[in-house]
Structure 1
Amino acid sequence: MSVTVMVLVLELVGTFAFAVSGALLAVRKGFDLVGSLLLASLAGLGGGVIRDLVLNTGVPNAFAAPQYLVPVALAVLAVFVRLIHEDRLRRTLLVFDALGLSLFCVMGASIAHEAGLNPIATVLLGVTTAVGGGALRDVVANEVPQIFNPHGVYAAPAFLGAGATALLLEGGLFNAVSAVAVAMLVLTLRLLALRYRWRIPLAVLKRG
């Protein structure tokens, strides 16, 4: 599998995962089908649109290539007919969000590298791609964005994934196997953070 095809697959699967999280949030908020489609589109496509605007490569892929709309439509449909729904622990949304995060940090970093960005910029744009759609989803739904939620690290695994991807790319070791391995590492860390409520220190030390 070529790197270009692999990145496209990662983006489409990640788009579906993020779109599911948006559709599930719409259900939780009591939105109608149009609201579900909007949140799913913001979550699934928002990070990629931000990335493409930063890279200034022309019309963002989400608007230039209709295949990016297919996973969004499938996600909304799957939630609408209850093929995918929140479990009793209300963690399904966060699991799909974690899956999207893990795939998008790898894909975003690889696209940034291909565009000629330096390693630091590659990492930053990889993280932006990973967290951008979820942040848009949560802001529109009047939720605290996951990136600002102190209960469960969010951006840190994305930084790790984007950093590992940048190192692999610089060393010429980036391929389908290494990409999936990095994505699985990010996914595992995010799920463990949710399970055990890991957290980043607050912005100011508490006085004893």
Structure 2
Amino acid sequence: MENIHPNPVLEGKKPGNPVFVRGDFTKITLWNALMGLSEPVQTLELVELTKLSYEQVKSWLDAWAKAGYITKEALGKSPTGGKRFVFSVIKASKMPPQIDLKGIYQEPEHRNYVWEAIRFINTSNDIVFEIETVLEYIKEHYDIDVSYTYAQSYLYSLYRAGYFKSYHEGVRREPAYSLLHDTGPLAPSIRRGKTVFDANLGVIVNE
């Protein structure tokens, strides 16, 4: 049996106009750009590639270099007389390092890992996955322990907001889902009253 909760806000929406929530979008965009490069890169090249501001890019590059996630090597002087540097990733990962701009460790938000796992699993809308599949992916790729209860609650909230189809076939005791709307890299957040805020779209999708 298949259940769908339609959501007019999500229908036809594409990622765009993201909201900068605690630097999540900036970090993910910049880190993904670094991970996609095979050669060392300069700050201005990353500014052009990501369309982020120079200060945003420079601040995160300096923080990650100081914490040992990327290298920072001098490349001589710029045309204006300042120093130029090139950066390379030395600790590769799918998610940005869990530090702030001061290099202080931040406890990871589990919704980010659940959402990333779902997006990876969902190579097409025909992919049906169970909660255990998501948890296995997270454990294998990130070595993070996300509880079954948390993942179950998060997925159900997104289902109620219209992100998924839900399947209860035959004697299946646990729900299975397939993703209807991949709105972007930022994990939708569950707020008070079970409303869902999607920073990829910049809106609460189920008021």
Normalised by the shorter chain, which TM-score bucket?
Answer: 0.3 to 0.5
The structure with more strand, counted as a fraction of residues: 2
**Higher-RCO chain (CA-CA 8 Å, sequence separation at least 6):** 2
**The structure with more radius of gyration:** 2
